[in-house]
Amino acid sequence: MNKSAIRALVTGGSGGIGAAICRRLGAAGHFVYVHAHSGAAAAAAVVGDIEGVGGRAAAVHFDLTDAAATRAAAEALLEAGAVQILVNNAGIHDDAVFPGMSPDQWGRVIDLSVNGFYNVTQPLILPMIRTRWGRIISISSVTSLIGNRGQVNYAAAKGALNAATKALSLEVASRGITVNAVAPGIIATPMSGSSFDAAAIANLVPMKRAGTPEEVANLVGFLASEEAAYISGQVISINGGMI
């Protein structure tokens, strides 16, 4: 497979982990679409990072929870050919203990992770199948595996991604497409920075530190490579020994 001919789409590519994934795929020689919903400036900065070291990238903007808008954006990308690497990274926290969780808090988190997965993956899957090569990687969470107080909605959303990963992997395994999920633990990003102080990290993580976005991106980059061609249907946690 000619790496320079492979096009990758990373949803939520303007965030901490998403940006690191975009840079890693760009360094591997792929053309990277950096997706953002409202973070246009951040997405443009990531594109600049990739192009600054000789890579190729472009920013794309659409709301993953809007099925029609996402399908239109996917169809526009497909005009240039199949997208063969898809990283479903976009997601949000909206934490509350379950007795006090509002319908909106539940719905927003589920909508982006679960419906967003369907909205962007479904229109891209058949063109990918026709090429007989592809990588679909969803960013889950260690919360989906061990739970966390105040995150029933987030655990449910990421758990659904894990289940969808396993089922979809069976449907496309004979077509040269792998489908996996990566479940990060505590990663040093703006999203997690306010949730865990140094003492909490030392208590929760056997390695006594948070992971880095680049460490997550390296795992994603491996799963997106030819070297990982026999790995599919897996939920791989990167968590410093938490489980």
Q: What single letter denotes the amino acid at residue 122?
A: Q
Distant-in-sequence, close-in-space partners of 180: CB < 8 Å, separation ≥ 6: 136, 137, 138, 165, 169, 223, 228, 231, 232, 233, 234, 235, 236
In 3D, which of 88, 79, 93, 97 has the Cα closest to residue 187? 93
Q: Which residue among the candidates 33, 118, 154, 230 is catalytic per the annotation?
A: 154
SS3 call for 2: coil
In 3D, which of 74, 15, 30 has the Cα closest to residue 224? 30
118 is catalytic: no
Distant-in-sequence, close-in-space partners of 167: CB < 8 Å, separation ≥ 6: none
From residue 87, how far is each of 9, 18, 23, 198 by CA, in Å? Answer: 6, 9, 13, 30
Q: Would you please indicate which residues are annotated as catalytic (active-site) residues?
A: 154
